[in-house]
Amino acid sequence: MAIWKQFVLSLIVIAAGFAGWIFLVPGAADVLRNAGVPQNLVARVAPPVKPGGDASGQGEGSQGGRNGGGRNSAVLVVTQAVVQGVVNDRLNAIGTGDAIRSVAVTPQAMGTIREILIKSGDKVKQGQVLAKLDSEEQVIAKGQAEVALKSAIEKSNLYHNIKSSVARMDVFDAEIAEQGARLQLQAAELNLTRRNIVAPIDGIVGIVPVNIGDNVTTSTPIVTLDDRSEILVDYWVPERFANTVSVGQPVEVTTVARPGQAFTGEVQAVDNRIDAASRTLRIRAKIDNRADVLRAGMSFNVSMKFAGDKYPAVDPLSVQWDSQGSFVWRVVDGKSNKVRVSIVQRNPDFVLVKAGIKDGDAIVTQGLQRVREGGPVRFGNEMASKNGVATQ
């Protein structure tokens, strides 16, 4: 068959299908009107709809003639009442834990480690000796300072006893020498004390990275001490919560190391600025850990509850769209009317909207395809009792 004949045949089939759709499908005229076809043209091509019936004069119109007409011309719908929902009522974030106090202990002097008095996992008190450096030189220096002080004291006492026969300046010099000797002894005792490496805080000993015989300096870490009686959790929240989170607000955390167990605490600090790169705000929470089940460095799931803003909540199926935006169908006195809505938040079970609707309003969730502005509706049997409407 020639190409032009195939083309003509295709046009005939399409035209026949379009004509059949117009004359056989109920509501075709409404579709044409919504598509922008002029009313006078729709009236010419689409058959007139008989009152109470469809284009073929059958169906609901005929049934309505036997049952009173007006009842069955109403669209059968299912509705659901509007309820109040809360937006942003919970915040979830991921945070990192740290001990309330943590210190990397380093020596106060250079030397060789002669003794290590602790091991990993030990609990130590502030001031407890953790390790000792070689101290022979400092012991000798202390002995020399003690001898010098003893000599200065004897000389000062002698000059005080015979000050009538010696110059006043000599007595004064003897007193100065005694004070200098005392200071030298204090310095020698301090240098000797610094050969002991002591704990600056109460805490738990980490892994000891040094051994006896190692030469260390004042920058060499000897051990890390963690006071984990409380755990600090740092996490970041979106900037919209900047004016919502406050110090003292309760938090709840969970961790993968303790599945099924929740720990409570409170916000200890709120940063003073928003991070410009991530648009988030740093928050620090404090978690009680007297049971010593949490560790520094753990990851935490942080949860916070807020009062939140309340909005009308509707079924997700009820929200429809047209060229002007989103809307829902509200039923008042058995008739439907279109209400424009602005979606605030989508949830799996409901949608929070900003609209002129209130609690208890009946919103259409099923049968939406045939609902029209101001058109009569009747409720399905399943929802009739909930809406106080009798059905036949």
Which segments of the chain have a pLDDT < 50?
A: 50-71, 381-392
Which pLDDT score, from 0 to 100, does residue 74 have?
Answer: 84
Which pLDDT score, from 0 to 100, does residue 65 have?
Answer: 40
Domain with CATH 2.40.30.170 in the chain: 90-125+202-306
Instruction: Please report the sign of the dihedral spanned by the C-alpha atoms of residue 15, residue 19, residue 21, residue 22.
Output: positive
**Distance between CA atoms of 149 and 140, rounded to whole angstroms?**
14
Q: Kind and range of the H or E element at 3?
A: helix 3-24
**Distance between CA atoms of 99 and 211, rounded to whole angstroms?**
26
Looking at this protein, which amino acid is placed at residue 284? R
- Mean pLDDT score of the chain: 84
The DSSP code sequence of 231-260 is: EEEEEEEEGGGTTT--TT-EEEEE-TTSTT
Q: How many residues does the chain have?
A: 392
Which pLDDT score, from 0 to 100, does residue 174 have?
Answer: 83
DSSP assignment, residue 47? Answer: P
Q: Look at the domain 75-87+310-387 and name its fold.
A: 2.40.420
Which pLDDT score, from 0 to 100, does residue 63 have?
Answer: 40
Q: Phi and psi of 211, rounded to 5°?
A: -130, 165
**Distance between CA atoms of 189 and 195, rounded to whole angstroms?**
10
Q: Spell out the CATH class of 135-194.
A: mainly alpha
**Distance between CA atoms of 305 and 343, rounded to whole angstroms?**
22
Range 141-164 burial, b when 16+ CB lie within 10 A, else e: bbeebeebbeebeebbeebeeeee
Domain 90-125+202-306, what architecture? Beta Barrel (2.40)
Pairing of strands 111-116, 129-133: antiparallel
pLDDT (tens digit per residue) in 160-179 = 777 666 677 777 888 889 89
Domain with CATH 1.10.287 in the chain: 135-194
**Distance between CA atoms of 174 and 166, rounded to whole angstroms?**
11
| Sequence-separated (6 or more) residues with CB below 8 Å from residue 127 | 198, 199
**Distance between CA atoms of 117 and 292, rounded to whole angstroms?**
23
Q: How many CB atoms lie within 10 A of CB 372?
A: 14
**Distance between CA atoms of 249 and 307, rounded to whole angstroms?**
12
Range 319-353 burial, b when 16+ CB lie within 10 A, else e: bbeeeeeebbbbbeeeebbbbebebbeeeeebbbb
**Distance between CA atoms of 71 and 330, rounded to whole angstroms?**
19
The DSSP code sequence of 283-334 is: EEEEEE-TT----TT-EEEEEEE---EEEEEE-GGG-EEETTEEEEEEEETT
Which residue reads 């001898």 in tokens? 147
The DSSP code sequence of 124-177 is: E-TT-EEEEE--HHHHHHHHHHHHHHHHHHHHHHHHHHTTTTS-HHHHHHHHHH
pLDDT (tens digit per residue) in 8-63 = 788 887 877 777 766 766 666 666 666 666 666 666 665 555 444 444 444 444 44
| Helix (H/G/I), strand (E/B), else coil: 351 | strand
The DSSP code sequence of 169-207 is: HHHHHHHHHHHHHHHHHHHHHHHHHTTEEE-SSSEEE--
pTM equals 0.56
